[in-house]
Chains A and B, each alone.
Chain A
Amino acid sequence: MSDDAVSDNGALEAVPPRALAARGAAWTLQRGPRRWRRYSPWMFYAFVSPWLLGFLALTAIPMFYALGMSFTNFDGLSGHWHWVGFANYNKAWHDQHFWSGLRTTAVYGVVTVPLSLAGGLGLAVLVNRRLRAVGVFRTIFYLPSVIPVVATTLMFKLLFDRNTGLLNTVLSWFGVGAVGWLSDPWAFKIMVLLALWGLGGGMVIFLAGLQGIPAELLEAATVDGAGAWQRFRRITLPILSPVVFFQFVFATIASLQTVVQPLLLSPAVNSGAGGGFTDPTHVQAGDYLYMVHVYAQFFDYQQYGYGAALLWILFVVILVITAAILRSSSFWVYYEVEQDGKAGRR
């Protein structure tokens, strides 16, 4: 078996390992026609098939199925449905809850994403120091993010319940009247707090990035007279920027897709025998995120076609925002290794 290299005309050709090693670091991949020749194409398909099947079955097909559904008035139950063209998209344009949900979600993202990034980075910097029992602190900070979101949300509900919650009980000891934390106008703030409760997840990723920063760089900066802030600003942050970029993209997408927290923070609905359940129409106006509106269309109004249209609109919004973040990354993300033949800032 021999390794491959690219000839001047772009075709792959066999190169002995020793010859390849001799080329050393000077060897670079040259552009050319995108063809690979060593293995059978079917070998390629065999190797990528697990991912490809998963992607097709769990992502691509459901997405395009939903796209087709968005042009119908399908109710999710019966066979009585018709093509309605762009009526569902037109309906969204005139739906006040669509716009208010989008607006609330935008505010939620603008508030929670920077706070969670800054908080996660701050915690990571704290636990990156040489402290006694630093492992214990890391565990404590990380612990909330491994608890399922349902459990955390229900815990918040118990803490902030107006009549039986712990917080109001503590406040009453100081003569402060009970506050309806889970009702408007406080409901949104509690939901933001809930989002920040899982900072530990981001902290671990930032910590991994921080520990990858060469100590000699920081030492050299110290020798040159740089203070702590300058070292952080001029060395740590730039080297950490790919990690910030990764977290920024994922946190933004997650904030736009938030649905479980507002549903679970809403009051229980009396279902008669057996107990309460959550319902999107009982979600407080301040917590009425875009995805709550989508959920209501599917499971309250049984308007699967309209719900699918709303999901596709959100998909396009996420696509545009992600593309904008990617585009902006060339101005603020730095890579230590070459990216597409270009070194440094991308």
Chain B
Amino acid sequence: MSQNSLSRRAFLGRTGAAAAGLAFGGSALAACSSSSATKTAGGKAVLNVMIDNVDTDQAFAPALKAFQAANDCVVKVSKFDQVKLNAALAAGSPPDLVRTNGAAEMPNIIARGLAENLDPYFAKSQYFKSDDLDPIIGVYKFDGKTQGKGSIYGIPSDYSQDAMIWYRTDMLDAAKIPHPSTTDPMSYDEYLTIGKQLTKRSGGKTQVYGFDPVWGFDNQAHLMQMIAQQGGSLWNDDFTKADFTTPEARKALQWYIDWGKARTGPGPLDQESNWDGPVYDADRIAIVSYGYWFSQEILGQDAGANSAKLQQVSVFAPAPQFGSTRVDACMSGSGAWIPAKAANKDLAFKFLEAWRGSGTDGAKAHFAQGGGLPLCLSNRKYLPQNTPFTSATYATQMNNVKYLSVLKFSPYAAGSAMEAALNTALTGAVQGGASLDATVSSLQAAVNGIIDSGKAQLGA
């Protein structure tokens, strides 16, 4: 009988053993599940691409098919998912290509040792020649300390000078406001003044927003640009300290608080259920601070029946300035990087070449839609110029691109953490009426915490 008995102690002991076994097995299982298969059953190589819409992009579809045939491989596309990416990186089996927002993220990603150095690939590439690369490649360069210098760790899909202005001539005409120049920038204060005039409210509802500097879209980058335009810098030389107490930073923060309280755009006091694109399409924004890529929204299906009218009344202009130094940076430059532990690095780089390389079918199809400026200067000729709207937009952009600069972000602070700290502090100031001093103080403490944490993780 005794051999059939099951005491509580035995039950707990065996359950514990099962738990330990499962913990080990579970870890292995997790690694397997998050890992990316490198071969199909038929022996073809599998390229795992974590970039949204590569597989559903109709313009890119023929190039994708040709790439798979030429390289005897299967491209497996998944939507970008930070949690899945974390699990895959932790398991040591990441995708072969990963999407990134670019500017604010890359130094941190590179400093953590996650991205592959692409210098050897660029040296051999027929599609990315060094003399054909736009200075925007600086977003993806890092020398261990400073963004914009050193080796290359990724490429932008396309880019824009994201603080540039789109304004509606019909709305400005109705308010008898002169049109901003398409070559010479106006100031932030001037746009705020015009924005107040253009904002229309009725019965407590905001029918038209006068001026939106696009709250929540890379606020850190916008703030850094406003400080740089005054000749200052948010970061110290080794990027280990952000200083919000300087006159330049305080002035920029105060402008954002004034803008938020003026309610001339969707912000902390005015919520919108959608992003600015559909709001602009619905004739509810007079001036919005978006880059060249927004021409695709005006031309695209999202604008629907309003697209033709929007093309007639939408004009592209330089980014607003906050000081005497003209800075018109790329805030994002979203693109892709190859993880250091990716299984198919060679094939991944070939994909990048087919995707956005000089003269490739994939690049031609993409840039013909006007979704952003190309990394390869030779691809600029594919940008749309066949209508009055697209040719005027192109002319403004080409004149403005000479003022492009690459902002330098700290490698010790994740972009999302900086955005969170800025949003929290500025929302508190706009909604709760916190003073500028209190806002600066809370922001300084939050960012110091982020930097300290980042430094500790990197052993700096």
> Is B419 positioned at the interface, with any CB of A under 8 Å from its CB?
yes
Contact flag A158-B203 (CB < 8 Å), given A36-B6, A279-B423, A300-B419: no
Question: Which one of B7, B14, B207 lies within 8 Å of A163 (CB-CB)?
Answer: B207
**CB-defined contacts of B277 to chain A, threshold 8 Å:** 275
Residue on B with the closest CB to A11? Answer: B1
Within 8 A of A (CB), among B1-39: 1, 4-8, 10, 14-15, 18-19, 22-23, 26
> Is A129 positioned at the interface, with any CB of B under 8 Å from its CB?
no
Contact flag A270-B275 (CB < 8 Å), given A281-B420, A296-B420, A300-B416: yes
Interface size of B by CB at 8 A reads: 70
Highest count of chain B CB atoms <10 Å: which of A45, A82, A168, A302: A302
Highest count of chain A CB atoms <10 Å: which of B114, B271, B284: B271
**CB-defined contacts of A269 to chain B, threshold 8 Å:** 216-217, 275
| Cα of A172 to Cα of B207 in the assembled complex, Å | 14
- Return the CB mask of B432-460 against A: 1 if under 8 Å, else 0: 10000000000000000010010011110
Question: Which one of B18, B90, B206 lies within 8 Å of A52 (CB-CB)?
Answer: B18
The interface stretch among A54-62, A214-222, A249-257 is: A54-62
> Is A81 positioned at the interface, with any CB of B under 8 Å from its CB?
yes
Please tell me if the beta carbons of A73 and B8 are within 8 angstroms of each other in the complex: no
> Is B293 positioned at the interface, with any CB of A under 8 Å from its CB?
yes
Please tell me if the beta carbons of B4 and A38 are within 8 angstroms of each other in the complex: yes
| Cα of A276 to Cα of B420 in the assembled complex, Å | 15
> Is A106 positioned at the interface, with any CB of B under 8 Å from its CB?
no
The interface stretch among A140-148, A174-182, A238-246 is: A174-182
| Cα of A52 to Cα of B218 in the assembled complex, Å | 47
> Is B414 positioned at the interface, with any CB of A under 8 Å from its CB?
yes
**CB-defined contacts of A38 to chain B, threshold 8 Å:** 4
- Return the CB mask of B89-108 against A: 1 if under 8 Å, else 0: 11000000000000000000
Give min CB distance, B127 to chain A, whole Å: 24
Please tell me if the beta carbons of B275 and A80 are within 8 angstroms of each other in the complex: no
> Is A272 positioned at the interface, with any CB of B under 8 Å from its CB?
yes
Residue on B with the closest CB to A270? Answer: B217
> Is B113 positioned at the interface, with any CB of A under 8 Å from its CB?
yes
**CB-defined contacts of A275 to chain B, threshold 8 Å:** 274-275, 277
| Cα of A177 to Cα of B205 in the assembled complex, Å | 8
- Return the CB mask of B176-215 against A: 1 if under 8 Å, else 0: 0000000000000000000000000001111100000011
Please tell me if the beta carbons of B203 and A177 are within 8 angstroms of each other in the complex: yes
Contact flag A162-B271 (CB < 8 Å), given A172-B203, A267-B266, A279-B216: yes
Please tell me if the beta carbons of B7 and A180 are within 8 angstroms of each other in the complex: no
| Cα of A8 to Cα of B152 in the assembled complex, Å | 81
Give min CB distance, A236 to chain B, whole Å: 41
> Is B427 positioned at the interface, with any CB of A under 8 Å from its CB?
yes
Give min CB distance, B310 to chain A, whole Å: 17
Question: Which one of B18, B112, B276, B456 lies within 8 Å of A78 (CB-CB)?
Answer: B112
- Return the CB mask of A34-62 against B: 1 if under 8 Å, else 0: 11111111001100000011001100110
Highest count of chain A CB atoms <10 Å: which of B275, B296, B459: B275
**CB-defined contacts of A56 to chain B, threshold 8 Å:** 15, 18-19, 22
Please tell me if the beta carbons of A276 and B275 are within 8 angstroms of each other in the complex: yes
Please tell me if the beta carbons of A183 and B459 are within 8 angstroms of each other in the complex: no
> Is B248 positioned at the interface, with any CB of A under 8 Å from its CB?
no
**CB-defined contacts of B335 to chain A, threshold 8 Å:** none
> Is A268 positioned at the interface, with any CB of B under 8 Å from its CB?
yes
| Cα of A69 to Cα of B266 in the assembled complex, Å | 38
Give min CB distance, A179 to chain B, whole Å: 7
Please tell me if the beta carbons of B453 and A270 are within 8 angstroms of each other in the complex: no
Question: Which one of A40, A164, A282 lies within 8 Å of B4 (CB-CB)?
Answer: A40
Please tell me if the beta carbons of A281 and B7 are within 8 angstroms of each other in the complex: no
Residue on A with the closest CB to B269? Answer: A183
**CB-defined contacts of B450 to chain A, threshold 8 Å:** 301
Q: How large is the interface on A (under 10, 10 to 19, 20 to 34, 35 or more residues)?
A: 35 or more
Residue on B with the closest CB to A269? Answer: B216
Question: Which one of B19, B89, B334, B417 lies within 8 Å of A77 (CB-CB)?
Answer: B89
| Cα of A153 to Cα of B416 in the assembled complex, Å | 25
Give min CB distance, A341 to chain B, whole Å: 21
> Is B258 positioned at the interface, with any CB of A under 8 Å from its CB?
no
- Return the CB mask of B247-281 against A: 1 if under 8 Å, else 0: 00000000000000000001001111111110000
Question: Which one of A79, A82, A272, A281 lies within 8 Å of B423 (CB-CB)?
Answer: A281
Residue on A with the closest CB to B86? Answer: A76
- Return the CB mask of B101-130 against A: 1 if under 8 Å, else 0: 000000000001110000000000000000
> Is A26 positioned at the interface, with any CB of B under 8 Å from its CB?
no
Residue on A with the closest CB to B22? Answer: A56
> Is A105 positioned at the interface, with any CB of B under 8 Å from its CB?
no
| Cα of A280 to Cα of B270 in the assembled complex, Å | 17
| Cα of A80 to Cα of B114 in the assembled complex, Å | 11
Within 8 A of B (CB), among A11-48: 34-41, 44-45
Please tell me if the beta carbons of A52 and B271 are within 8 angstroms of each other in the complex: no
Residue on B with the closest CB to A164? Answer: B273
**CB-defined contacts of B297 to chain A, threshold 8 Å:** 273
Give min CB distance, B456 to chain A, whole Å: 6
Please tell me if the beta carbons of B10 and A268 are within 8 angstroms of each other in the complex: no
**CB-defined contacts of A268 to chain B, threshold 8 Å:** 272-275
Please tell me if the beta carbons of A273 and B271 are within 8 angstroms of each other in the complex: no
Please tell me if the beta carbons of A276 and B274 are within 8 angstroms of each other in the complex: yes
**CB-defined contacts of A158 to chain B, threshold 8 Å:** 273
Please tell me if the beta carbons of A78 and B113 are within 8 angstroms of each other in the complex: yes
Within 8 A of A (CB), among B369-416: 371-372, 414, 416
Give min CB distance, B274 to chain A, whole Å: 5
Give min CB distance, A36 to chain B, whole Å: 6
Please tell me if the beta carbons of B19 and A157 are within 8 angstroms of each other in the complex: no
Residue on B with the closest CB to A296? Answer: B420
Question: Which one of B5, B19, B52 lies within 8 Å of A60 (CB-CB)?
Answer: B19
Please tell me if the beta carbons of B206 and A163 are within 8 angstroms of each other in the complex: yes
> Is B82 positioned at the interface, with any CB of A under 8 Å from its CB?
yes
- Return the CB mask of A280-297 against B: 1 if under 8 Å, else 0: 111001000000000010
> Is B431 positioned at the interface, with any CB of A under 8 Å from its CB?
yes
**CB-defined contacts of A299 to chain B, threshold 8 Å:** 82-83, 416
Please tell me if the beta carbons of A57 and B26 are within 8 angstroms of each other in the complex: yes
Contact flag A282-B112 (CB < 8 Å), given A36-B6, A73-B457, A276-B275: no
Give min CB distance, A309 to chain B, whole Å: 14
> Is A9 positioned at the interface, with any CB of B under 8 Å from its CB?
no
> Is B307 positioned at the interface, with any CB of A under 8 Å from its CB?
no
**CB-defined contacts of B275 to chain A, threshold 8 Å:** 268-271, 275-276
**CB-defined contacts of B161 to chain A, threshold 8 Å:** none
- Which residues of B come within 8 Å of A, CB atoms? 1, 4-8, 10, 14-15, 18-19, 22-23, 26, 52, 82-83, 85-86, 89-90, 112-114, 162, 203-207, 214-218, 266, 269-277, 284, 290, 293, 296-297, 332, 334, 371-372, 414, 416-417, 419-420, 423-424, 427, 431-432, 450, 453, 456-459
Q: List 6 A-B contacts (CB under 8 A).
A: A34-B7, A78-B114, A82-B457, A270-B217, A270-B276, A300-B416
The 4 closest A-B CB pairs, nearest first, are A178-B204, A177-B204, A267-B271, A78-B112
- Which residues of A come within 8 Å of B, CB atoms? 34-41, 44-45, 52-53, 56-57, 60-61, 73, 75-82, 157-158, 161-164, 168, 172, 177-180, 182-184, 266-276, 279-282, 285, 296, 299-303
Q: Can you name 14 extra interface pairs (CB under 8 A) apart from A78-B89, A178-B204, A268-B275?
A: A52-B18, A73-B457, A80-B113, A81-B457, A161-B273, A163-B206, A179-B204, A183-B431, A184-B431, A269-B217, A275-B274, A285-B432, A300-B419, A301-B416
